[in-house]
Amino acid sequence: MATISPAHAAVQHNAFSNAPSLDAKSFQGLSAGQCFCPDWIHKNRWGYPIATNGKGGKSAGHRLAYRLFVGPIPNGTMVLHRCGNQACINPHHLYLGNALQNALDRDLHGNTKAAVQLPQTKLSDEDVRAIRASSESCTALAKRYGMSRSYMWCVRTGAARNKQKTEG
């Protein structure tokens, strides 16, 4: 008979539905040194785990796991992933932080797409360098590139399209 590790047993299916539930007893034998990321199957469109919250509603699975196994989450606080796996619900991989820490954490783990990888991006890095080097007005540049004057100003000043990443 195959044995199941405590971490694997933490993700159990309810007998009455396909929605997974979390079992607090299953994480008790898991130490912080054991690196196991239970990759939650039910995710939202951003890749974060979704679980039922026991009140008939849905909750972010990593936030629910933190509340169940670690403690309350203060209002306005985010639950971050040490492992960089946004679908992970291992309580040893979760910690609290603010929006800035969350953004830095995403960058550290490489979970943020560069501007040129986003589907709505219209300007290449070469376009951005040309806009910054141009002596034309933002109005003229906006007409040429088919964008707003204010966006051209943001590109030129580095407020849009990180200046350090496009210069080089």
- Read off the pLDDT of residues 81-137 as tens digits, 9 standing for 90 and up: 888 888 888 888 899 999 989 888 887 877 665 554 554 567 888 888 999 999 999
Q: 146 CB contacts (<8 Å, ≥6 apart)?
A: 122
Q: Is 24 helix (H, G, I), strand (E, B) or coil?
A: helix
* Cβ–Cβ < 8 Å for 25, 45: no
Overall fold of domain 6-108: Homing Intron 3 (I-Ppo) Encoded Endonuclease; Chain A (3.90.75)
- Nearest CA to 43 out of 51, 54, 35, 33 is that of 51
Domain residue limits, the chain: 6-108, 115-166
pTM attached to this predicted model: 0.51
Q: How far apart are the first and last CA of the chain?
A: 59
